[in-house]
Structure 1
Amino acid sequence: MSDPQIKKIALQLSLKEKDVQATISLLDSGASLPFIARYRKEATGNLDEVAIAAIRESLFRLRRLEERRESIIESLAKRSLLTDDLQERLLGADTLESMEDIYLPFRIRRKTRATAARERGLEPLARTIFAQDNVDWDPEEEALVFVNPEKGVSSAEQALSGARDIMAEWMSEDGRARQRMRSLYQSEGLLRSAGAAGKGEDAAKYRDYLDRSEPISRLRPHRILAMLRGAKSGALSLHIAPPEDAALGILEELFIKGDSPLAQQVRQAAVDGYRRLLAPSMENETLSRLRLHAGEKAIQIFSQNLRQALLEPPLGQKSVLALDPGFRTGCKLAVI
C-alpha cells in the first residue's frame, strides 16, 4: 500500500502511521484480527481489536476504490475516451460515489430515449436549447429544421421531445446535480413503507410498517432492517423521496436561466429527468446506503451485547482459576 493511503488511514483514525503500516502488513500476511491483537502488540503499538478492525475496514474501502479507479481508466482508455482532464478528475476523486458520478456519462449502457434521439440527429437542437443564449429564439420554429420523417421525426414537437430527452439525461448525469441531490435525500428524504397487495399473511408480520412515513435522518437501524426484510419478502413496498419542490429547485438553480421559451423547454426536461431518471437512481443509492449503515450498526450492537455476555461471571460468585498459556512470555495465572 502506498504511503499516501497509509497517511489517510492514520489521519482518519487518529493513529500513528507506523502502527497502521505494521497492522496492514500483518493483515496482508494472513494474520487474523484476534491473533494480531493478542500476540503482536509490540508491532502494532498495543492496538486493540476495535482499532485493528477499523484499519481493516478502511483498508478494504481504499483498495476497492483504487481497483474501481483502475478499471474505469482502463475502460475509458480502450475506448479512446480518456482525456488528461478526465483522468485528473478521476485520480482526484476520493469516494466511490464521486468517481462513479464522473464516469456515468461515459458508461456503456443499453439504448435509452436520449440515445435514440441522438441517432435521429437531435443533439444539436438539444445543445442550442440547453445553452439558452438567445431569449427571443422560438424553439418550435427552429425545431422545424430537424423534422425528418425518414429518421422518425415527423413534427417539430417530436424534435423538441427528443431534445428534451437528451437534456434530461445530461442533467441526471451531472456530477454537481447528483452530489447536491444526494445530500438532499440524506437530509430531507422520507422513507415510506406500504403493504403490498395480496400479501395478507406475510404483511401481518410487518403491521407496524404497513403505512409508515419517517425521515431517514431519524430512522433507527432496527426499523430500517425490519422494513428491508419486509420489502425483500414482498410484503412491503419502500420508497424514498425528499420534497419534490426542493429537488426541482436544485435543477432550476443549476441549469435554468430565466423564463424564456428556451428556459421553458429546459424546465420541462428537468422535471422529466428528475422523475424518470434521477429520482429512481437516488432512491436506489439511498436505500443501499441505509442497508449498509443499518447492518453495521446491528453488528456493532450485537458485538457490544456479546462482549457483556462473555464478561459475565461464568459460575456466579464462585472463585475461578484462569490460565493464560503464553509460549513466548510464559504462562499467567489469575484468580477471579
Structure 2
Amino acid sequence: MDILKKLAEEFKLNAWQVENTVKLIDEGNTIPFISRYRKEATGELNDEILRDLNERLSYLRNMEERKADVKRIIEEQGKLTPELAEAIDKAEKLTEIEDLYRPYRPKRKTRATIAKAKGLEPLSVLIYSQMLSDEELEKRAEDFVSEENEVLSIEDALNGAMDIIAEQISDNAEHRKKIRDITFQTGVITSKATDPEAETVYEMYYDFSEGVSKIAPHRVLAMDRGEKEKVLNVSIIPDTEKIINYLKRKELDGGEHKYFDAAVDDSYKRLIAPSIEREIRNELTENAQEQAIKIFKTNLHNLLMQPLIKDKVVIGLDPGYRTGCKVGVVDGTGKVLDTGVIYITHSEAQKKSAAEFIKNLIKKHDVDLISIGNGTASKETEIFTAELLKTIPGTKVKYLITNEAGASVYSASKLATEEFPDFDVTQRSAISIARRIQDPLAELV
C-alpha cells in the first residue's frame, strides 16, 4: 500500500501536503507545533485535519506491519499461497487481516483441537465432502470408535468431527466479513435490566432496542456504563435466519446432510456469533467515544471562547437551599470586593433581609451585572433577582445564568486556598461564578 497516496485520496489533499506533513511528524514535531509554525509546509492545514491525518497514518502503518507479521508467520508454517498473500495485501482493515490469519493462528485447546487429537479429522473430511448419506457416515464412524482415543460411541465420533467442521467454517475470512456486514445492517442492539424494580439513571434502557446501524453514540456509551455497573444486560440480535441461510447456501450442496447441517448451525451460534458481536460492540464503543470527544471539544471551545465582558463589576450568586445563597462581588479586573451569604428560600423575613443586602451591594460597588449559578435552587434565585431588580428604579443592572460546573471543586482545591486564603469554600465558588462571565478562558482554565 502506498500510504502517502492513500492519505492524499482520503483527505482530498495534494501529494506534497501529505508528504511534508508526514515528514514533519516523523521528525518528532508535535501537531500543535506543525499547525502553528509550519503552515507553509503543510499548505495551511489546521490542527483538526493534522490530528486526524496523524491518527490515520498511525493506523495504516500499524496495518502494514501487521500484514508483514501475518505473512511471515503463515510462511513459516509453509502455508502461504500467492492467493492468500494477495488477499492479505489487499485488506483495508485490521479486522480483515485477522480474519485471514484466523485459520493459521496457534489455537488454544478447543473442542476441534481435542477432536483432531482423537484422530477424527478424516471423518470430518468425509462429512465436509457431502458425498455420503447420513447412514453411510454413521457406518464409517464406527471405524473411529476407540476406547484408547476416548471415542466411546458413533455419536462421540460424529460430534467430534462436526466440531472440527464448525471451527473450519468459523475460520473462513469471507464468511466472517459477510456475517459482520449482515449483523451490522440487520442487527438490533438491546438492553434489559438485571433488576427491573431498581431505581437507577438507566431506567430508559431497562427494555430498550435500536438498530445497530442507527443507534446514537451517546446511547452506546450509556448502555456500556450500565452494563459495566451490572445494571443492564446488553446484546446484539441479528437476522439469524438470513445468516444461517447464507452459510448453508455457501457450504451445502443443496442436498439433505443432517450432520453437516448441524455443524453449520453450531459454527455460527457457538463460534461466529459471539465473536462478531464482540467486534461490533467494540467498534460501536470506539466510534461513540471518538464522537463524544469531538462534541466535548466543540462545547468546551464555545464555553472558553465566549466574548469577554470587560470592566464590569459583577455579583456572583451560588444558589443553595439549606446552606443559603453564597454571594461574591468582583470589580472589573476580577478583584474581590465583598462576600456574604443570603437566604431566599426560608422565611419572608430572611428573603426581605437578603433583598436589602443585595441592594446595598449594588449601590456600594456600582454593580453592572449579576451572575447566577445554574445549580440547585437556581430557578428560585433567578426569580428573587428579577423581582429585586424591578424594585430599583432606573437600574442598569442585568442578570444572567452561568454554568457553574466545577465551581465547587475549584473552591475546595489547593489553588483556591492559595488564591483566597481568607475566604471559605462557599465564598470562593461565588467569586468564581462572578469571574467566569468576565473572562471564561482565564477563569475556567
Aligned with residue 95 of structure 2, among 87, 94, 97:
97
Q: Tell me the residue number matched to 2:271.
A: 277
Aligned with residue 196 of structure 1, among 194, 197, 210:
194
Q: Tell me the residue number matched to 1:209.
A: 205
Moved more, 118-127 or 69-78: 69-78
- Structure 1: stretches of 5+ with no match in the other structure: 319-336
Read off the aligned partner of 2:62 and give its amino acid letter: R
Aligned with residue 127 of structure 1, among 99, 108, 125:
125
Read off the aligned partner of 1:285 and give its amino acid letter: E
Read off the aligned partner of 1:238 and give its amino acid letter: V
Deviation at 1:89, TM superposition (A): 2.9
Q: Distance in 2 between matches of 1:64 and 1:205?
A: 39
Read off the aligned partner of 2:169 and give its amino acid letter: M
1:231 maps onto 2:266 in alignment: no
CA RMSD of aligned residues (A): 2.1
Q: Tell me the residue number matched to 1:222.
A: 218
3-state SS of 1:240 partner: strand
Q: Tell me the residue number matched to 1:150.
A: 148
Q: Residues 61-72 of structure 1: matches in 2 within 5 Å?
A: 61-72=59-70
Aligned with residue 240 of structure 1, among 214, 236, 239:
236
Give the number of the structure whose residues are more often helix, by fraction: 1
Residues 114-156 of structure 1: CA deviation (Å, up to 9, x unaligned): 1111111111111121121345872212212222221111222
1:258 maps onto 2:254 in alignment: yes
Q: Distance in 2 between matches of 1:287 and 1:61?
A: 20
Conservation of the 8 A alpha-carbon contact between 1:172 and 1:277: yes
- Which has more radius of gyration? 2
Deviation at 1:27, TM superposition (A): 1.6
Q: Residues 320-331 of structure 1: matches in 2 within 5 Å?
A: none
Percent identity over the alignment is 38
Residues 217-260 of structure 1: CA deviation (Å, up to 9, x unaligned): 12111110000011122221211120221121121111111233
3-state SS of 1:285 partner: helix
3-state SS of 1:213 partner: strand
Read off the aligned partner of 2:50 and give its amino acid letter: I
Q: Distance in 1 between matches of 2:31 and 2:304?
A: 18
Read off the aligned partner of 2:164 and give its amino acid letter: I
Deviation at 1:187, TM superposition (A): 0.4
Deviation at 1:264, TM superposition (A): 2.1
Read off the aligned partner of 1:125 and give its amino acid letter: L
- Structure 2: stretches of 5+ with no match in the other structure: 313-445
Residues 280-330 of structure 1: CA deviation (Å, up to 9, x unaligned): 001100100000111111112122222333442122799xxxxxxxxxxxx
Read off the aligned partner of 1:86 and give its amino acid letter: L
Q: Detail structure 1 runs of 4+ shifted over 6 Å in the superposition.
A: none
Read off the aligned partner of 2:279 and give its amino acid letter: E
Count of residues paired in the alignment: 312
Moved more, 151-160 or 66-75: 66-75
Distance 1:146 1:205, change over 3 A: same
Q: Distance in 1 between matches of 2:228 and 2:43?
A: 44
TM-score of the two chains, using structure 2 as the length reference: 0.66
Conservation of the 8 A alpha-carbon contact between 1:241 and 1:279: no
Q: Tell me the residue number matched to 2:292.
A: 298
3-state SS of 1:193 partner: strand
Residues 164-217 of structure 1: CA deviation (Å, up to 9, x unaligned): 1111111111111101100011101111111225x976x612111122121111
Residues 51-76 of structure 1: CA deviation (Å, up to 9, x unaligned): 21221121011011122223323333
Residues 57-112 of structure 1: CA deviation (Å, up to 9, x unaligned): 21011011122223323333444444444333322322111110110011112111
